[in-house]
C-alpha cells in the first residue's frame, strides 16, 4: 500500500545498477506514493544519489542545477566508443606520460570552457536523445556548450591509471573530460570508474546504501530521511508571523522590509514549519513560487 512520504534520502548507489532501479527499490522500501531523483548516475558509476519523496520532488530542480564533485579514475592508453567502460574499445596506444605532463594540462580543463557533449548522452536532437543515434552507429553534429570546472586535482597517478578530483557545474561530462584529456596527452583515455562525492552541500559520507536501508526497521528507515527544505538550505530564510504565513499559503504576496527583487527565500511559519519557496516580485513582495502541501492529519 502506497503512502505519503516527504523527505530526502541520501543514497549511496552501487555499481551495476541504473539510477531509476535504485530509486524504485528505495521507493518500495518506503512504500512511497511519489518519488524522484535529482540527476542520474550511469550504471557503472557509484556514489551520492539524492532521492526525493513526496513534497521534496517539488524542489529537486535545485539539486539538478547544483555543483557536483566526483572522484574519477581514468584508464590511459585506451579509448572507448562511449568514453567509459561500457563502450567498445576503439584504439589502444602506448602510455608515455609523466605526472608533470598531466599537471601541465589541468589548467586547460579548469574554469570556463567549451565542451562538446558525447553522443552517448540524453541530450536531444530533433526530439530524440543522442544515445538513440549512437546505438545505431550514427554520429550527429553537437554544439559545444559552455561548462565550468571549479576544481581539478590529481589524487593519484600510477602508470596508466590517473585519479582526479573534479568539482564542476551543471551539464559537465566527466567522461568527455577523460577522452579530451587523453587526446591532449597523446595516448587516449577513457573513464574507468566514477564516484559522486557531493551534490551541492550534500555529501556521500552521510549517505546510506541499499543493503543497509533494507535491513532497517520502518522507524529507522524514516529517521534516515532529511527534511524537504534540505534541498534549498543554501537560500536565505524568511520567518513569518501567523498572518503572513496564512496569506502566503493562500497564494498572496507579502511585504517585508529589506527584500531584494528577484531574490529567493525559504519561508517558515511561527512554529518553524517549512512553507515553501518564495521569490521577491517587482513590487518588492515575497510571492509564493512553490509551496508544500500541509501535512496529513495524524
d(CA 286, CA 49): 32
DSSP code for 136: T
The two beta strands, 128-129 and 124-125, are antiparallel
Phi, psi angle pair for 237, to nearest 5°: -95, 140
Residues 285 and 254: beta-carbon distance below 8 Å: yes
Q: Considering Cα of 245, then 250, then 253, then 255, what sign does the dihedral take?
A: negative
d(CA 230, CA 201): 9
d(CA 234, CA 201): 8
The closest of 235, 223, 165, 159 to 194, measured between CA atoms, is 165
d(CA 218, CA 259): 42
Residues 161 and 74: beta-carbon distance below 8 Å: yes
Residues taking part in catalysis: 42
DSSP code for 4: -
Burial class (CB in 10 A: 0-12, 13-18, 19+), 14: middle
Amino acid at each position: 500500500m502506497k503512502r505519503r512520504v516527504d523527505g530526502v534520502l541520501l543514497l549511496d548507489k552501487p555499481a551495476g545498477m541504473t539510477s531509476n532501479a535504485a530509486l524504485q527499490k528505495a521507493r518500495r522500501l518506503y512504500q512511497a506514493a511519489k518519488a524522484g531523483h535529482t540527476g542520474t548516475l550511469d550504471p557503472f558509476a557509484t556514489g551520492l544519489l539524492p532521492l526525493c519523496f513526496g513534497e521534496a520532488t517539488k524542489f529537486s530542480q535545485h539539486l539538478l542545477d547544483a555543483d557536483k564533485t566526483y572522484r574519477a579514475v581514468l584508464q590511459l592508453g585506451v579509448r572507448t566508443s562511449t568514453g567509459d567502460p561500457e563502450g567498445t574499445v576503439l584504439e589502444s596506444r602506448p602510455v608515455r606520460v609523466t605526472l608533470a605532463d598531466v599537471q601541465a594540462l589541468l589548467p586547460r580543463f579548469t574554469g570556463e570552457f567549451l565542451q562538446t557533449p558525447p553522443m552517448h548522452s540524453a541530450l536531444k536532437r530533433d526530439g530524440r536523445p543522442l544515445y538513440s543515434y549512437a546505438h545505431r552507429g550514427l554520429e550527429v553534429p553537437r554544439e559545444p556548450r559552455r561548462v565550468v570546472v571549479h576544481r581539478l586535482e590529481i589524487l593519484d597517478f600510477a602508470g596508466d591509471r590517473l585519479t582526479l578530483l573534479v568539482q564542476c557545474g551543471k551539464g559537465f561530462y566527466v567522461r568527455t573530460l577523460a577522452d579530451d584529456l587523453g587526446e591532449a596527452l597523446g595516448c587516449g583515455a577513457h573513464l574507468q570508474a566514477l564516484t559522486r562525492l557531493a551534490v551541492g552541500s550534500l555529501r556521500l559520507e552521510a549517505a546510506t546504501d541499499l543493503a543497509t536501508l533494507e535491513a532497517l526497521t520502518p522507524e529507522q528507515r524514516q529517521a534516515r530521511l532529511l527534511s524537504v527544505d534540505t534541498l534549498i538550505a543554501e537560500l536565505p530564510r524568511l520567518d513569518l508571523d501567523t498572518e503572513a504565513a496564512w496569506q502566503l499559503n493562500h497564494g498572496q504576496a507579502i511585504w517585508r522590509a529589506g527584500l531584494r527583487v528577484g531574490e529567493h527565500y525559504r519561508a517558515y511559519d511561527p512554529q518553524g514549519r517549512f512553507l515553501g519557496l518564495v521569490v521577491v516580485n517587482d513590487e518588492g513582495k515575497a510571492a509564493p513560487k512553490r509551496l508544500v502541501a500541509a501535512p496529513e492529519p495524524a
